[in-house]
């Protein structure tokens, strides 16, 4: 019991340390470049343009990070009400493939789409589900070198009672000693690669969104061969699942 309380306190301390660090880096940059514009150190149109661009990009990064932290906090406190609506998993998958394709094509990674043979109805918060699956598709792309392949599969399982989305990649894979930790907030396997934009929140959000729907997320992976992430949701949300009442006012 005491152990669990200690672990939770430690997790909270780590969380604050990580958020502070991730907020501070772009803020320092915004401060530096705006000061240079104000005091005239950034002279000439080209230099000023570049400073303004960096300020804008860093501000965007901050907005994204803050949105992720707020979303995750809401999900974890059960304060985020899902806006449940009928969704067809095949349609949602096709839409995601369409929106992800340009990023895949630019990276030289093939995105293969395998819909279920029949429509796959489910009751879900379409925006949150899109967010979770986009996180998985973006991760797969990021960890798959060209010429690689990522496949999105939709299938109805358990006689249509469950819907499973699977994202398989032929990328780097995840070491066995790390795989248990990747769902933790802010956990990144390769922290040293500072050029990466990842906040380490993506998979924590996927997990929370899955659980909020009464479903679950999981992964299997082989280093050097690739990873297989899945998100499984009940087609109809059961009584007692951690969800809010459908609210179509949004």
Footprint of ligand ADP (CB under 6 A): 135, 139-140, 143, 169, 171-172, 174, 182, 187-190, 198-204, 227
| Least distance from ligand ADP to the Cβ atom of residue 228, Å | 9
| Least distance from ligand ADP to the Cβ atom of residue 182, Å | 4
| Least distance from ligand ADP to the Cβ atom of residue 69, Å | 13
| Least distance from ligand ADP to the Cβ atom of residue 177, Å | 13
Q: Is residue 215 within 8 Å of residue 164, measured between CB atoms? A: no
| Least distance from ligand ADP to the Cβ atom of residue 171, Å | 5
Closest CA to 133 of 180, 181, 90, 166: 166
Q: Which is nearer to ligand ADP, 18 or 139 (CB)?
A: 139
How far does the chain reach from its first CA to its final CA, in angstroms?
A: 41
| Least distance from ligand ADP to the Cβ atom of residue 117, Å | 26
Distance of alpha carbon 97 from alpha carbon 209, whole angstroms: 20
Contacts of 64 (CB under 8 A, 6+ apart): 199
Q: Which is nearer to ligand ADP, 89 or 204 (CB)?
A: 204
Helices (runs of H) and strands (runs of E) counted in the chain: 6, 7
For the chain, strand residue ranges (E) read 85-88, 110-114, 121-124, 149-157, 162-169, 216-222, 226-234
Say if residue 143 is exposed, middle or buried (CB neighbours under 10 Å; 0-12, 13-18, 19+): buried
Q: Which is nearer to ligand ADP, 83 or 228 (CB)?
A: 228
Strand partners, 222: 226
Strand partners, 167: 152, 229
Q: Which is nearer to ligand ADP, 201 or 212 (CB)?
A: 201
Q: Which is nearer to ligand ADP, 215 or 226 (CB)?
A: 226
Tokens of 152: 């999105």
Looking up tokens 């679950």 gives: 216
Q: Which is nearer to ligand ADP, 47 or 66 (CB)?
A: 66
Alpha helices, H only, 77-200: 89-107, 126-142, 176-179
Q: Which is nearer to ligand ADP, 128 or 188 (CB)?
A: 188
| Least distance from ligand ADP to the Cβ atom of residue 134, Å | 11
């Amino acid at each position: 019991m005491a152990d669990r309380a200690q672990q939770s306190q430690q997790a909270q301390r780590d969380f604050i340390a990580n958020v502070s660090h991730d907020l501070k880096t772009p803020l320092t940059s915004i401060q530096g470049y705006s000061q240079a514009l104000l005091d005239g150190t950034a002279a000439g149109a080209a230099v000023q343009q570049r400073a303004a661009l960096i300020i804008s990009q860093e501000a965007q990064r901050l907005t994204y990070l803050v949105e992720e932290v707020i979303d995750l906090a809401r999900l974890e406190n059960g304060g985020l009400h899902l806006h449940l609506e009928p969704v067809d998993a095949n349609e949602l998958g096709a839409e995601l493939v369409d929106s992800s394709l340009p990023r895949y094509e630019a990276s030289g990674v093939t995105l293969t789409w395998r819909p279920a043979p029949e429509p796959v109805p489910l009751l879900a918060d379409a925006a949150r589900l899109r967010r979770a699956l986009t996180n998985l598709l973006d991760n797969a792309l990021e960890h798959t070198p060209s010429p690689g392949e990522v496949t999105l599969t939709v299938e109805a399982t358990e006689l249509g009672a469950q819907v499973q989305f699977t994202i398989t990649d032929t990328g780097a894979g995840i070491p066995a000693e790390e795989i248990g930790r990747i769902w933790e907030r802010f956990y990144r396997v390769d922290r040293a690669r500072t050029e990466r934009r990842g906040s380490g929140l993506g998979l924590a959000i996927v997990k929370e969104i899955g659980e909020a729907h009464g479903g679950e997320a999981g992964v299997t992976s082989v280093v050097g061969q690739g990873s297989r992430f899945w998100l499984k949701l009940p087609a109809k949300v059961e009584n007692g699942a951690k969800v809010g009442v459908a609210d179509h006012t949004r």
